Each structure stands twice: as structure tokens, then as C-alpha cells.
Structure 1
Amino acid sequence: MSLRKQHFFNSKNLPTKFSIFYFIVGIIGIIVLDRFLNIYFIYNNVENSFINFKLLFLFLLFTIIILFLILHQMQKVITKIDKSYKDLKIKDKERLMPYEFALNNSVDAIYWFTLDAKFVYVNDAACRMLGYTKEELIGQPLEKIEPNFNRQTAIEAMNYIQNSPNYLLETTQIKKNGEVFPVEISGHGFEYMNNKYICAFGRDTTIRMEYRNKITNINLELQKSLDEKEILLKEIHHRVKNNMEIISSLLAMQLRRAKDDEVKYILKQSKSRINTMALVHEFLYLGENLAYINLQDYIKRLVQDIKELYISQNTKLKVDLHIDKLIFSTNRCIQIGMVVHELCVNALKYAFKEDRENLLCIHMKKIGDKIHVKIRDNGEGLKDINCLYKSESIGMQLIHSIVEDQLDAIIEFRNNNGLECNIIFSKDEEE
């Protein structure tokens, strides 16, 4: 609340009153002076005919008129100045009203400090947040509400904010009732009327901290649940792999007892196909990701297992393996693995011989949004390539079924210093 000072010249009748007062004082002065001079001249035997009471009275009247006019003009000027000052204050108040409204109705607490860390202004939000009135905070030191500061560290903080473009601090403040609560503070330095100040914005983060703690607890529970599910999935993949290995062992036992070469080959192929699928589950069990597999590592291991199963020690085989870094899902890896398995087994069965250098090329490249697969041997090739598209063998039927129905791919066989198979399919997997 501000007090408006009344100027001495604000009275409307002041020139008249002052002139009457001056007239009365002047008359009294003239009478006193006239008597004093009469006594003086009588005592000194001097003629005083030149002293004229009427002349003095006229002089007095003239000075009163001049004084009245001067005072009247001064009153007009001062009244005009006072009116202009009042109008200016009203305009300033109207101009500042939106800013004052914004400050007092801000959600954030706003404080102004001197560089010695004392309050010079607080808005209504700060008072509500801290429980103090403005009068209780103005002039008080920062440490009144900041238990983490003392006099020295508070002044150091003000100087640091003054020299920092962006200042942000998560701290605690204490209310009038002694309650401590978390708050986020941002501050900026500014200069006004040749004085330096700090403007700080405070936001009560109690609700945010509660939500953060809730979210943290929820995330911990979700992570715990996820870890349990990962362990369960790993265990499932491990058991599937073990079950497939049991089936593979049973086929191996049956293979050792079989006497017919064709039956042995069929059992060996079945065992190899099961191993191809079991290998995927082994990678999932041993890997960090339970949904995707590095195709490069998988194919390299698959080819090694096929060599050990089908190639004798006397057969010299060089494998030219070039596979881009590709990450595929379990199903996609099984599909590609089965195709590679069948094509490699066919090459090992029909193209490679013990008395020469054998070569098996397996290339998989990512070109644009397509995956290009090339598998080639250095055997004699085939006279009738078209027979591969019409073959009734289980292996070729399996290849065509996977390539056409599951990979939605294009497959092409051709002779190129041996038999070459090219497969092109989309990089993106369909859900």
C-alpha cells in the first residue's frame, strides 16, 4: 500500500489566502514601521514629511497583486504537473497490471534476490508454496527457506547464477511449518536501475517425485517379470533343443542298426534336418536376444555341422563363406537354414569327390531391400537344369516349399562351373 503525498501548493485558494495573510502582515508592518520612524525622527529633530503612509500602502498593495499572480501561476503549473504525474502513475499501473497478474498467478514460485542472497520480491505462488507472507520474506536471507545453504554458500550461489546462462538445481526447501519438500530451481541474473539482482523460479516437485518413484517401482517390477520370462523362454528353448537332440540320438541309433544304404541316407538326412532346427534353439538359449539371431554366426555353425556329418576325412573341401551382417527372427532363420542345409547336402552328395579340390560358395548379401543368396559348388553341374524345378525328391520339394510359400522368394538354378542356385527374397519379414 503506497501513501500519496499532498503538495503544499495543491490547495485551490492558496494564492488568495497567502495574499490576505501577506496584506495583514504588511499593514501591521507598515503601522509599526511608521510609528518607529516617527519616534526616530522626533527624537532626532528631523522632518518626516517625506514618509507617506499612503505611499507605503500602495506599494504593499502592488506587491500583493504581483505575489498573487505569481502564486496563482505557480499553482496552475504545479497542479498540471501533479495531474500529469497521477495520469502517468495510472498508465504505468495499467501497463504493469498484466505483468503483475502473470507474476502473482504463476504456477511457479518467483523470487528476486540481491547478490548477498536476500529477498527483495516474492510472488503469491511463492507465498502459497512456503506458507509465508510477502512481508515475512522480504529482506530475509535465502537460508531461511533453503536448509542446504548457509550465509557464505548462499552468496556464492548468487554469484554463480549471475555468471551462468542457464542455472538449474534440484534441492529441498523448508516451509514455515517446518515441512521439507523437493523443489526444482532455475535462476538468471539481471540488472535494474544500476543494481544487480537474481531472479529465481521454483517449482514444487513433490508430485513429480511421487510419480517418478511409482514409475521406478513399476519398471523394477516389469524388469523382474521380464527377467523371469526370459529365463522361462531360455529354459523352453533349452528343452526344445534337448528334445530334438534326443530325437537325433534315436535316429543315430537307428542309423547304426540299419543295413540298407538308402535307409541310412534317409535317416542321416532326417538327423541333419533336426539338427538344423535344434541349432536355432541353441543360439536362442545361449544368446542375449530371445527373438532374433545373427544369421552369419548361425550359417557358419550350420555348415560346419553339415561338413562333420557328410564329409569324410579324405574329402578336401574349401568353403567360401561371405554373409553380410543380418539379424533375423527364429522362423526366418529356420527357413533359410533349411534351404541352405538341403542345397549343401545335395552338393556334398553329388558334386564333391575325394580325388580333387572341392569348393562350396555360400554368399548372402543385402542389396537395397532384398537379400541375395548364392550357393554354388564346383562340380560337373547338370545337363538338365529344368529337372530341379520338377524334382519329386523330399529335399527339392522342401526347398521349393520354403522358398515359394514362406520366403515368397525367387529361385533360379544354373550351371556356372558347377551348379549355382540364386535366391532373392525381401529383407523385411512379414508378420
Structure 2
Amino acid sequence: MRGWGSGGRGESISVTEIFIHDLFNHHNHVGGEKVTHIDLFSGANQFELIVNTVHEPLLVLDTEMKIIFANRNFYNNFKVKSEETIGNSIFNIGDQQWNIPKLRELLERILPEKTVFIGFEVEHDFPTIGHKFMLLNASEIHNDYAGKKLILLAIEDITERKQAEEELTKYRQHLEELVDKRTMELKESEERYRRLFQTSKDGILLLEKQKGEIVDANPAITKLLGYKYEELYGRNPQDIGLLKDIGDFQNFIQKLNETGFIRYDDVPVETKGGKGIETEIYFVNKTKLIQCNIRNISERKQKEREIQESLKEKEVLLSEIYHRVKNNMQIVISLLRLQSRHIKEEKYREMFKESQNRIISMSLVHEKLYQSNNFTRIDFEEYIRELTNGLFRSYGVDKDKISLTIDIENISFLINSAIPCGLIINELVTNSLKHAFPDGMKGEIKIILHSVDENMIELVVSDNGIGIHEDIDFKTTKSLGLHLVTILAENQLHGNINLDRSKGTKFKIKFKEVK
């Protein structure tokens, strides 16, 4: 490969010839077998092939920084052509894109002083191939044959490595930030846990998982049990009278690992001073430890026992009240019954009977209340069946002629709803028995009580008798019974009442239970 003319020589000398000449002189000088120029020059082509297989781009420069040789990888990597490279200053090739200040510094200042330089890093933006990081290795070469000093410049493209290093640095910084953040979070979490641990009203023990020995105890547990911290540390809870009933500790650990949480209620514990306290104990599985919380519930349990005793007393009192009210009503009923025997006019005797039945309906509520389990609610279906059976007996009605159908949902009422509802049923069934089936007419009375809509209850009392005349307004009639039904439905139950006359008589009352 021809590249430059030597001073005074008539022909140009290739770089290959220069290196071959050096090799020839060296070989003969060290006493090797005599080698002729013809032998060496015959390998010139092989030399260029070897140089062109070198991975790094290679340049040979003269002292004027003109390029006299470039290997194939220089052209391939930096996208320049031979004709614009050979014989030109390195700083001028490719529209002066190699005019790099650091490269000038290396070739013009550093290299003349040191003659060899390894690992000189250069960063540059090339218009054609983009941003590059290069590692330059330069060496001066003295050659007598050429009569000139040369510079061998090897260029290693380390862009991908630098980018990988930058990415690795960024990733390392990101990891460090994450580690710092997580460390801070863990520190803050540990501080929060420590504050909670120290200030908790519950006694807390931390146990190691192998033998269950106590490795930490908060102030609340030392106060609760009467032990000093030093007396608890390193001991097993069973040694101080705790957790005697948990069985084999390793089986307990296995169960805790499976569930993560175990709780024991009403656990008796004895303090150091021998005082018995009632506690609830729960265990929480941590990574390396077991957290055991012990809560003193002695005061709460005592309050519960006091409440239970108080409830029993009130239940006895309520039962006695309901029983006395029922008995007093029975006395009133008996007085009315005795008085009615001295009344000759049927109209007034009937009024007394109706009053007796009304009092019976209220008396029956109190009877059911003191017979119930909770003294506040009564089974309304049972109540209605007993109430209506009494009315049928009172009026001497043959059930073969007038049948009774009761369809009641499983509903229980408080006393404030039970009494007005019972009185309404008493009045409407009484009205049907007296007026709906004249002259021995057969028929049916129905009582339906169901929940409808949200929180609403519907009571339907109907018969298929002769019905109420169209001219009669049940809300304004002088009939005490119907007037009482309206008052009870609207003022006591706070509901609404409607009458359907299409097929006999059907009263519909919708209301919410009165609390």
C-alpha cells in the first residue's frame, strides 16, 4: 500500500515496506538465519492481511499528523474513504470531524514528551456516526529505512462499554436510593413499633422461636406481673406461670406458623405476688420472633358479671310487673263481668262484654311478655290465635259456620306495637263476628300479618260477609270500635288504614314497628 514519498527518494514507500525493513534488520542483527529483502517483501501482502484483521482501528501518522496508513476497521467504523484519508491530516479528514482538542493534546503535546501513551480516553460527537467514547493507544516509531519518525495510533471504540457502565452506575445509584429509602422506612417503622411497644397498655413479651425464651418485655408487662425486666429476660413464660396450657411449644409454633395468629380468652394468670388476674392472650407470628400480648380483663369481666346480675334482677322485676298488671286487669275484667249480670238491657250488656274483651287483649300481651324469654317481645302468631279463640268463645260462634284463617309471618313485637295491634285485631274480628254474617250465614275471617317493603309491616283483617254499607265512613262513624281502630292505627302505630269493600270487608293497615 503506497501512501507518502520519502525525502530525496524517487519512489514512494509503503508502510508495509517500512515494517518489513525493521523486521529484516532486527532478524539479522540478533544472529538469526540470514534473511533477504526478497524473502521479507514476499510476505508484505500477508502482513497487510494481518493488520486488517485487527479488531481496533489502526492509523499510522507522520510527524505532520498526515495519515499514511489506515486499516480496514478504521474505514468501517468511522465511515470514511481511503481517498479522503491517506495523505491528509487527521484533523482535516471527514470535514474536520477529527479535529478533537483532546486528540490534538495527545498527539502534539503528550506523545512527544512520553513517546508512548496507553489508555487515553476521548469523548466526541461525530456528525456521521454520533456520540463516541474512544480509548487511544499511541506510540512513536523510529525507522531508519524511511528516514522519518512515525506515530502508530490504535483506536478502541468503548462506547457500548461506557454506556453500559453509565447504565450500571445509574442502576447502582437507583438501588442505593431504594436501599436508603427502605432503610429509612424500616428505621422509622422500627421506631414507631418501639414507641408503641413501650407505651402500649397491653403487656407485651417478645419470644424467640426455638425455646420460647423471653428476649424483650415492655413496661406494661412488668407492671402487670410484678416482675422486673431482668427477672423476665431469658426465661420461659411457663417458668413464671404463663401459658401453662399451650402444650408442646414446637407444636404450638407450627400452628402459629400456619395461622399467623392465635388468641386465648379468659386465661387466668398469677402475678409474682400471687394475685390472680383474668387475661386474654394473643400471639402474633413475626419473622424471627413471637409477639405475645397479655391484656388484663379482670375489671371488664367484673363489670360483665355485675351487668349479668343486674339483668337478672331486672328480669325478675319485669316478670313481676307484667304478672301484677295482668292480675290487675283480670280483676277489672271480673268486676265488669259481675256488673254486667245486673244489667237487663242487652245493649249495655254488650258494651260491657266489648270492654271486657278489650281488656283481655291487653292483659294477654302482659301474660305473654312475662312468659317470654327476654320480657320485651312476644310471639305474635301465638298471641293472635289465643286472642281470636277467646273472641269466638265469647260470642259463642260455631267454627263450622264461620272459619278463621291466620297467615302470620314469623314476627315478634315490642309492647308498644303489640298492644295497639292486638286491640285493632280485637275490634275488627269482633265487628265481623257481630255484623258480617247475619241469620246464621256461613263465612270466613282472615288475619294476615307480613313484612312488606323496607321496615314496613302490613296487617290485613277481612271477611267475606255482607260488608259495610257504602254510606258509612269508618273514620267518622259513631261506632266506638271502628273509631278506636282508626285512632290506634294512625296515632299509636303511626301508620295508614284503608278499607276495601269489593268483596265483603277488608281493612289494610301499614305501619312501622314502634320502638
TM-score range normalised by the length of the shorter chain: 0.5 to 0.7
Where structure 2 has 5 or more consecutive residues not aligned to the other structure, the ranges are 1-179, 199-203
CA apart distance, 1:274: 0.9
Farther-moved stretch of structure 1 (160-169 vs 252-261): 160-169
| Alignment counterpart, residue 254 of structure 2, candidates 160, 166, 180 | 160
Contact 1:145 1:175 in 2 (8 A): no
Describe how 1:78-157 pairs up with structure 2 within 5 A: 106-107=197-198, 108-112=204-208, 115=210, 117=211, 122-123=215-216, 125=218, 129=222, 131=228, 142=236, 145=239, 156=250
What TM-score, normalized by structure 2, do the two folds share? 0.52
Q: Which residue of 2 aligns with 1:394?
A: 480
Q: Which residue of 2 aligns with 1:293?
A: 378
2:499 is aligned with 1:413 = yes
Letter aligned with residue 199 of structure 1: L
CA apart distance, 1:142: 4.1
Contact 1:185 1:200 in 2 (8 A): no
CA apart distance, 1:145: 4.5
CA apart distance, 1:395: 1.4
| Alignment counterpart, residue 234 of structure 1, candidates 309, 319, 327 | 319
Q: Distance in 1 between matches of 2:280 and 2:479?
A: 75
Q: Distance in 2 between matches of 1:417 and 1:272?
A: 27
Secondary structure at the aligned position of 1:388 is classed as coil
Q: 1:371 to 1:162 in 2, by over 3 A?
A: closer
| Alignment counterpart, residue 348 of structure 1, candidates 433, 443, 464 | 433
Q: Deviations over 1:77-115 (max 9, x none)?
A: xxxxxxxxxxxxxx9xx98977886787643443435x4
CA apart distance, 1:352: 2.2
Contact 2:379 2:411 in 1 (8 A): yes
CA apart distance, 1:421: 2.0
Q: Which residue of 2 aligns with 1:310?
A: 395
Q: Distance in 1 between matches of 2:238 and 2:485?
A: 80
Q: Which residue of 1 aligns with 2:417?
A: 332
CA apart distance, 1:250: 1.4
Contact 1:374 1:420 in 2 (8 A): yes
Q: Which residue of 2 aligns with 1:36?
A: none
Secondary structure at the aligned position of 2:206 is classed as strand
Q: 1:177 to 1:349 in 2, by over 3 A?
A: closer
CA apart distance, 1:387: 3.9
Contact 2:417 2:513 in 1 (8 A): no
CA apart distance, 1:408: 2.9
Q: Of the two structures, which has the highest relative contact order with CA contacts closer than 8 Å and spacing of 6 or more?
A: 1
What TM-score, normalized by structure 1, do the two folds share? 0.61
Letter aligned with residue 497 of structure 2: I
Q: 1:100 to 1:230 in 2, by over 3 A?
A: closer
Q: Which residue of 1 aligns with 2:366?
A: 281
Q: Distance in 1 between matches of 2:273 and 2:317?
A: 53
Contact 1:173 1:183 in 2 (8 A): no
Letter aligned with residue 285 of structure 1: Y
Q: Distance in 1 between matches of 2:440 and 2:421?
A: 31
Describe how 1:375-386 pairs up with structure 2 within 5 A: 375-386=461-472
CA apart distance, 1:336: 1.3
Secondary structure at the aligned position of 1:389 is classed as coil
CA apart distance, 1:221: 1.5
CA apart distance, 1:318: 0.6
Q: Which residue of 2 aligns with 1:186?
A: 283
Q: Deviations over 1:371-392 (max 9, x none)?
A: 2222222222233343433311
CA apart distance, 1:164: 3.9
Contact 1:241 1:281 in 2 (8 A): yes
Q: Deviations over 1:122-145 (max 9, x none)?
A: 34759x9464659x96xx674895
Q: Distance in 2 between matches of 1:387 and 1:200?
A: 78
Q: Distance in 2 between matches of 1:180 and 1:227?
A: 27
CA apart distance, 1:161: 6.5
Contact 2:413 2:513 in 1 (8 A): no
Secondary structure at the aligned position of 2:291 is classed as strand
CA apart distance, 1:187: 6.1
Secondary structure at the aligned position of 2:474 is classed as helix
Q: Deviations over 1:31-80 (max 9, x none)?
A: xxxxxxxxxxxxxxxxxxxxxxxxxxxxxxxxxxxxxxxxxxxxxxxxxx
Describe how 1:30-49 pairs up with structure 2 within 5 A: none
Q: Distance in 2 between matches of 1:177 and 1:247?
A: 65
Q: 1:180 to 1:254 in 2, by over 3 A?
A: closer
Farther-moved stretch of structure 1 (291-300 vs 280-289): 291-300
Describe how 1:353-364 pairs up with structure 2 within 5 A: 353=438, 355-364=440-449
Q: 1:333 to 1:355 in 2, by over 3 A?
A: same
Contact 1:358 1:378 in 2 (8 A): yes
Q: Deviations over 1:6-52 (max 9, x none)?
A: xxxxxxxxxxxxxxxxxxxxxxxxxxxxxxxxxxxxxxxxxxxxxxx
CA apart distance, 1:222: 1.7
Q: Deviations over 1:326-367 (max 9, x none)?
A: 222212211111111111111111122464422111122221
CA apart distance, 1:231: 0.8
- For these two proteins, the number of residue pairs brought into alignment is 317
CA apart distance, 1:158: 7.8
Q: Which residue of 2 aligns with 1:17?
A: none
Describe how 1:57-72 pairs up with structure 2 within 5 A: none
Contact 2:212 2:249 in 1 (8 A): no
Q: Which residue of 2 aligns with 1:217?
A: 302
Farther-moved stretch of structure 1 (237-246 vs 215-224): 215-224
Secondary structure at the aligned position of 1:390 is classed as coil
Q: Distance in 2 between matches of 1:414 and 1:249?
A: 37
